[in-house]
């Protein structure tokens, strides 16, 4: 019988593991298919405190894992496939193994949606990015034309944020109006550096042969005409999908599948806690995920202490 099981090995899961381990709870963490989480897919992280020169994303996550293991966390490669949270102890199945636990921390993250283009995939981290806050300030984007794809609040926020760095920000949207909040639409369209490209989709990211983004090809969905926009960066902001399907109907979620926390890190099921991007559709940063992981572990520890009083 485990005291704490953690689903996910990103910033949230590994920070939860560190705190739970230091509380002598010997947490068992399942990595999922992406050990180290999303941050391992980026080369340089410049906004995680404590690294004035920046840190390689993969290296940061290896360090987080080592730090958690140093205090007794057990990191196990495996994916949780089913859960039974209807009674204590909770039962989980991971790669054919059944685990029982008194508390569970869900830190399964959220995947960003892709445009689905081969060129997009090939140029990821070479000018194609999914996070303006993370990458916008990189030298490669400074004073260069940039393209944001999307039409919701996130796309508007990303485009507005990028005006600090880019010479011009093209906002490519497949419709002829944005579907963000009214205030956000007004702010976005009023900005002199933002140029909307309506009724259009990106059909190709240029230039795979050069190994960097030099532009995008866009197609007008009404007229069928195509043209190229020169740019140094493509910021895809068409939404995220939280990895929460396992908990549907059991743990309270919003319409987009984000788990809705109560009083910090708790969920509607006593003993089940949540942390990181799977419960955060607003900030989605390494440091916020880590902070939420810390909160979830402290809550789990208090839950166990109260049960055993
Ligand atoms: C390219 C890129 C660059 C970024 N750069 C920055 C940056 O510079 N600064 C910054 O602050 N943020 C950055 N971010 C955002 C940052 O990566 C995320 O906010 C952070 O990783 C969220 O951590 P998390 O632990 O909530 O989720 P994730 O990192 O997404 O981790 C989720 C974990 O859950 C696991 N998992 C999922 N389902 C299961 C399951 N069923 N069983 C077991 N495990 C499961 C996965 O394998 C993974 O280990 C970047 C993101 C991307 C994509």
Distance CA 208, CA 201 (A): 19
Residue nearest to atom 17 of ligand 1 (CA): 39
39 Cα–ligand 1 center, Å: 6
Question: Can you state the percent helix, strand and coil of the chain, rounding each to 5?
Answer: 30, 30, 40
Q: Say which of 134, 156, 231, 278 is annotated catalytic.
A: 134
Tokens of 254: 């919003």
Q: At what angle do helices 182-190 and 153-162 cross, to 10 degrees?
A: 30
Residue 73: predicted pLDDT: 98
Residue of 152, 151, 145, 136 whose CA lies nearest to 170 = 145
Residue 43: predicted pLDDT: 76
Residue 184, preceding peptide bond in cis (omega within 30° of 0): no
Q: What is the CA radius of gyration of the chain?
A: 21
Residue 263: predicted pLDDT: 86
Residue nearest to atom 41 of ligand 1 (CA): 80
Residue 308: predicted pLDDT: 81
Residue 42: predicted pLDDT: 79
What is the DSSP code (8-state) at residue 39? G
Query: In this structure, are residues 288 and 280 in contact, taking their beta carbons and an 8 Å threshold?
Result: yes
Distance CA 238, CA 181 (A): 15
Its pTM stands at: 0.84
284 lines ligand 1 (CB under 6 A): yes
Taking only the tens of pLDDT, the chain with its 309 residues reads 999 999 999 999 999 999 999 999 999 999 999 999 999 987 788 899 999 999 999 999 999 999 999 999 999 999 999 999 999 999 999 998 999 999 999 999 998 899 999 999 999 989 999 999 889 999 999 999 999 999 998 899 899 999 999 999 999 999 999 988 898 899 999 999 999 999 999 999 999 999 999 999 999 999 999 999 999 999 999 988 999 999 999 999 999 999 999 989 999 999 999 999 999 988 989 999 999 999 999 999 999 999 887
């Amino acid at each position: 019988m485990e005291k704490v099981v953690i689903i996910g090995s990103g910033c949230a899961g590994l920070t939860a593991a560190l705190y739970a381990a230091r509380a002598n709870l010997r947490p068992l963490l399942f990595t999922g298919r992406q050990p180290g989480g999303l941050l391992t897919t980026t080369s340089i992280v410049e906004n995680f405190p404590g690294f004035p020169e920046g840190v390689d994303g993969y290296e940061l996550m290896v360090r987080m894992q080592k730090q958690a293991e140093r205090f007794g966390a057990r990191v196990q490669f495996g994916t949780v496939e089913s859960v039974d949270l209807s009674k204590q102890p909770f039962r989980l199945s991971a790669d054919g193994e059944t685990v029982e636990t008194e508390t569970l921390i869900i830190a399964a993250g959220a995947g960003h949606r892709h445009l689905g283009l081969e060129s997009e995939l090939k140029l990821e981290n070479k000018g194609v990015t999914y996070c303006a806050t993370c990458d916008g300030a990189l030298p490669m984007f400074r004073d260069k034309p940039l393209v944001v794809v999307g039409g919701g609040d996130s796309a508007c926020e990303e485009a507005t944020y990028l005006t600090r760095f880019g010479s011009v920000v093209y906002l490519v949207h497949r419709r002829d109006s944005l579907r963000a909040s009214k205030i956000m639409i007004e702010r976005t369209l009023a900005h002199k550096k933002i140029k909307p490209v309506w009724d259009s989709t990106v059909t190709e990211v240029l230039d795979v042969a050069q190994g960097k983004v030099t532009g995008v090809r866009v197609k007008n969905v009404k007229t069928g005409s195509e043209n190229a926009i020169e740019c140094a960066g493509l910021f895809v902001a068409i939404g995220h999908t939280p990895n929460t399907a396992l908990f549907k109907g059991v743990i309270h979620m919003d319409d987009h599948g984000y788990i809705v926390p109560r009083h910090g890190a708790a969920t509607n099921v006593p003993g089940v806690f949540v942390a990181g991007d799977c419960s955060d559709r607003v900030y989605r940063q390494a440091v916020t995920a880590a902070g939420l992981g810390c909160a979830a572990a402290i809550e789990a520890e208090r839950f166990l202490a109260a049960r055993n009083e």
